[in-house]
Amino acid sequence: MGFTCFRSFNFRNLEDRLINLNSPSIFLIGENGQGKTNFIEGIYTLCFGASFRTSYDQRMIKEGKELSKIHGVFNQEKELNRDISVRLSRKSKKEIRIDSKRIHDRKELLEKIPCIVFSPEDLSFIKGPPDRRRWFFNQTLSLFDITFIDLLRDYKRVVKSRNILLKQKNKELFDIYNDKLAQLGLTIQAKRELIIGEFNQTFLAIFKKISGLEDNLEIIYKPSWNGMVSKEDVIRFLENNLEKDILMRTTTTGPHRDVFSFYLRKKDFTCFASTGQVRLISLILKVAQAEFLYQKSRKKPVLLLDDVLLELDAKKRESFLNNLPVYDQAMFTFLPDENYNKYRSENTLLYRVDDGNLEILK
């Protein structure tokens, strides 16, 4: 079913009130800057324990206020209601609770409420720096393989410690950290290699449906340790590159340097793609992510679609909406002059958003 209600207190510009969400589809209609994206951000934060817009939690607290809290009730198929709350403070740590019980790791939320957000910032997954594509595939893996989060955390800790040694030019402990780095890094590389083959099949099928093109757009994974399959191979490679790493004062190879690229007709897609094509592919990428999650876990996600249809022509918009993945609930934002009634169903809830206030429309 998805979220049945949402309440906020001092969150961004939203009014402090209870909002009924007891429907599989929610339309938020309003001019830019009125709070539509803030509401989407609130729902996303209940699902992930963090924002998709900022890495600074305090920016979500209403200006001039010290505390903020959001709360939602989530109902999943064949399961009891889940009571989720996130409390933010300018003076203390974030507090997340599930059914009144405080949790200390956000990954517990991912297991409870799968969520996929579509936003204009998704363009960076196609045209942005390599770390954005790594982030996307890390999230894709983590949505159905929760152990991957711990693997990434362990790897990042080792890289951080090794980088400190590099800056100190301390060669005494490198054997230990090279061993840990190789072991964790190869496990990450193996998981990425496995997922990219499966993900490409899902992605390509959706690409052909929505784009109407017969060409194959393929995602190519280029690991930093290309061709290395044993820990000994990687350790030798790290030892041979040690002087370079010391000079650069950082670990220059490993999964944190891996590259994911998009190729169409054997050419790098980002080198010749138009803005419209990049927008369409970024949407297809997120559809594939949601579909892939369902294939791997049979979990239907909550979809949050924030101003992502504006740059599509009528035909592409229709094709995109007709090929949305299976979901528990979907929330869309629209400008008032868009023909949103064309896309609503009998059960769709419509809300007018004006200066942070949500009023239901008949």
Q: Are 355 and 35 in contact (CB under 8 A)?
A: yes
Tell me which CATH homologous superfamily contains domain 127-278: RecF/RecN/SMC, N-terminal domain (1.20.1050.90)
* Run of H or E including 149: helix 147-168
In the chain, residues under CATH classification 1.20.1050.90 are 127-278
pLDDT for the residue 89: 96
Domain 1-114+299-362 classification at class level:
alpha beta
In the chain, residues under CATH classification 3.40.50.300 are 1-114+299-362
**DSSP of 253-284:** SSGGG-EEEEEETTEEGGGT--HHHHHHHHHH
pLDDT for the residue 181: 97
**Sign (positive or negative) of CA dihedral 48, 53, 54, 59:** negative
- Average pLDDT per 10 consecutive residues for the chain, totaling 362 residues: 93 96 95 96 96 94 96 81 94 94 90 90 92 96 94 97 92 91 97 94 92 85 94 96 94 97 89 86 94 93 91 83 91 92 90 96 82
pLDDT for the residue 190: 96
Q: Are 14 and 38 in contact (CB under 8 A)?
A: yes
Q: Are 221 and 192 in contact (CB under 8 A)?
A: yes
